[in-house]
Amino acid sequence: MAHFAKSQNINDPERRWFSYGARASAFAGAYATQVQDVSSMYWNPAAISFLSGNSILWDYFQQWHGKMKSELVAVPLQLGEGNAIGFGVNATQLQMNDGFGFVHTSALYGFDLATATELTSTFSVGIKGTVQYGRLENEQLWTATSAIGILYAPSPDISYGMVYSGFGGTVQYSLANGDLALSRQSSPQNLQLGLAMRFPSSKVERTITISLANDKTFGTRGIRYNGAIEWLVTQFLALRAGYVVSPTYAGAKYGIGIHADGILLDYAISPSSLTDQFHEVTMSILL
């Protein structure tokens, strides 16, 4: 999502860089191999070519301390067998305290476009671009960043994914000496590798999904490891738990999913004070 600073960059361990979806959040970001709805394009753009139909998605994200709120609307569009594009529009509100008793509010907007193609029935490639627009009273700034991904699903019970992101730049809000300013920051280049296993392999009888991933942000120390498990209690209810571990922090995520009458409703919570504490709700209406 947005990046903001107070005099200098904040080392936010869970900076999301415009990635959405409550199911993905409950998976602790181990989502490079998952195909659920158009939110998958924010984690691996290659995933949207495997979507079975069209939908419209709404996502709401809020940090616990209330300093960041974000909303997203996104839709996929199937362009024939094995080809798809996804569109997304998002808005983020930031609130920053300057230390003198004044709260500064700023806004950041994003426009997303992803496209994916199945090279074979089990292998897909995709690319996503994001344009960001930051605005202050007398200042505005446009930036763009992109990501590429591949998804390989040789069988229903296992899939592999790889995503490389960080081409371009992002908008940074800075607060120093009581003044709010805009600047462009290079996007952190990141490589994520993922693996997902599903038991049993039949979609009708599937009960357990295990998703694992590790990602490296170049220029930083160590590798981050993500893992999650999803239990389909019934055809309509799913329980989720994820965990993220890095050289400097670790924390759990939890979530729940409800599927009924063509509507997918997902909720995620990140309660650990060592990570970015937030709530997130995603609703996807199948068309």
The tokens for 196 are 């997902």
For the chain, the domain total comes to 1
Read off the pTM.
0.89
Is 237 in contact with 230 (CB distance < 8 Å)? no
- Expressed as residue numbers, the domain containing 265 is 3-286
pLDDT of 201 above 90 = no
Q: How far is the first Cα of the chain from the last one, in angstroms, to the nearest whole number?
A: 28
Segment 32-54 mean pLDDT = 92
Give the count of alpha carbons within 13 A of 108, CB side only.
27
User: Which range among 30-39, 73-82, 179-188 shows the weakest confidence by mean pLDDT?
Assistant: 179-188
More confident residue, 3 or 40: 40
Mean pLDDT of the chain, nearest integer: 87
- Enumerate the β-bridge partners of residue 243: 227, 252
In the 3-class helix/strand/coil scheme, how is the chain assigned residue by residue?
CCEEEECEECCCCCCCCCCCCHHHHHCCCCCCCCCCCHHHHHCCHHHHHHCCCCEEEEEEEEECCCCEEEEEEEEEEECCCCEEEEEEEEEEEEEEECCCCCEEEEEEEEEEEEEEEEEECCEEEEEEEEEEEEEECCEEEEEEEEEEEEEEEEECCEEEEEEEEEEEEEEEEEEECCEEEEEEEECCCEEEEEEEEEECCCCCCCCEEEEEEEEEECCCCCCEEEEEEEEECCCCEEEEEEEEECCCCEEEEEEEEEEECCEEEEEEEECCCCCCCEEEEEEEEEC
- In percent, the amount of the chain with pLDDT more than 90 equals 57
Which residues sit opposite 239 in a β-bridge? 231, 256
The pLDDT value recorded for residue 13 is 47
Q: Can you give the CATH number for the domain in which 228 is found?
A: 2.40.160.60
pLDDT at 135: 83
65, 150, 153, 200, 241 from 228: Cα distances, Å:
25, 20, 18, 17, 6
Q: Using 50, 70 and 90 to split pLDDT, how confident is the model at 173?
A: confident
Contact in structure between 124 and 49 (CB atoms under 8 Å): yes
Q: What pLDDT is recorded for position 15?
A: 57
Q: What is the mean pLDDT of residues 132-142?
A: 85
